[in-house]
Chain A
Amino acid sequence: NAGVTQTPKFRVLKTGQSMTLLCAQDMNHEYMYWYRQDPGMGLRLIHYSVGEGTTAKGEVPDGYNVSRLKKQNFLLGLESAAPSQTSVYFCASNHRDRGLTDTQYFGPGTRLTVL
């Protein structure tokens, strides 16, 4: 199993550009998450999904949109990138057995720079 994979690994955007980050998992997990990691801030939850076709806001959702059209994929979109969105983005997933309390499996991260 590949586990949780993220595409792309690195990206540089100009202010105002849009892009989509793709997260894919092959573990048949129901729950998926998008976090951002900033120096000295830890991980902060952007959006999450408890199943195909459902999404919910996390702690820092502004400026981001998500979609979960297929169980194995969770997309994070930036419609108009801003320098404040420069960060490392992590995707994670877990099985539904213990829901939001279950062990999460993380992807390798996407390093995004917005100029």
Chain B
Amino acid sequence: AQSVSQHNHHVILSEAASLELGCNYSYGGTVNLFWYVQYPGQHLQLLLKYFSGDPLVKGIKGFEAEFIKSKFSFNLRKPSVQWSDTAEYFCAVNAYYSGNTPLVFGKGTRLSVIA
């Protein structure tokens, strides 16, 4: 079964700093990759997703992620964070075996942006 690793448990950044959150997955076959975000007191919502095509995916609120197949990675980036980006970020993956498997989530990375 596939697994997802998010290496940073808690990241603290100042406003305007650049962000990169790591995500690695374990499955070597076809995968679909997602980043979900949970703002304080709100529902989880989709930030961006990758199915195929251009490995650089752009999402909402200025976020992007790059799929690097050789590194089994799907890192999330933002050039300049804002206080409103304070949230918990979850990487998730579907793998394709003889059919698609349910989504597996990483443990999450809590981002705190300070003024």
B75-115 interface (Cβ within 8 A of A): 90, 94, 100-108
Are B90 and A106 interface neighbours, CB within 8 A?
no
**Chain B residues with CB under 8 A of A104:** 44, 46, 103
Are A90 and B103 interface neighbours, CB within 8 A?
no
Given contacts A42-B90, A42-B105, A44-B105, contact A101 B51 (CB under 8 A): yes
Are A42 and B44 interface neighbours, CB within 8 A?
no
**Chain A residues with CB under 8 A of B104:** 45, 59
Q: Mark B43-58, 1 if CB is under 8 A from A, else 0.
A: 1111001010000000
Q: Does A108 touch B at the CB level, under 8 Å?
A: yes
Are B101 and A100 interface neighbours, CB within 8 A?
yes
Nearest Cβ in chain B — how far from A88, in angstroms? 10
Q: Does B7 touch A at the CB level, under 8 Å?
A: no
Q: Does A53 touch B at the CB level, under 8 Å?
A: no
**Chain B residues with CB under 8 A of A59:** 104
**Chain A residues with CB under 8 A of B9:** 40
Are A48 and B46 interface neighbours, CB within 8 A?
no
Inter-chain CA distance A42–B43, complex, in Å, is 14
Q: Does B73 touch A at the CB level, under 8 Å?
A: no
Inter-chain CA distance A109–B101, complex, in Å, is 23
Are A45 and B102 interface neighbours, CB within 8 A?
yes
Given contacts A48-B102, A106-B44, contact A101 B94 (CB under 8 A): yes
Are A42 and B107 interface neighbours, CB within 8 A?
yes
Are B103 and A45 interface neighbours, CB within 8 A?
yes
Are B107 and A101 interface neighbours, CB within 8 A?
no
What are the 3 A-B residue pairs with the smallest beta carbon separation, nearest first? A42-B107, A106-B44, A43-B105
- Some 5 contacts from A to B, beta carbons below 8 A apart, are A42-B108, A45-B104, A90-B44, A101-B100, A104-B46
Q: Which residues of B contact A (CB under 8 A)?
A: 4, 6, 9, 32, 34, 42-46, 49, 51, 90, 94, 100-108
Apart from A45-B103, A92-B44, 6 more pairs, CB < 8 Å: A4-B43, A42-B106, A59-B104, A101-B32, A103-B34, A108-B43
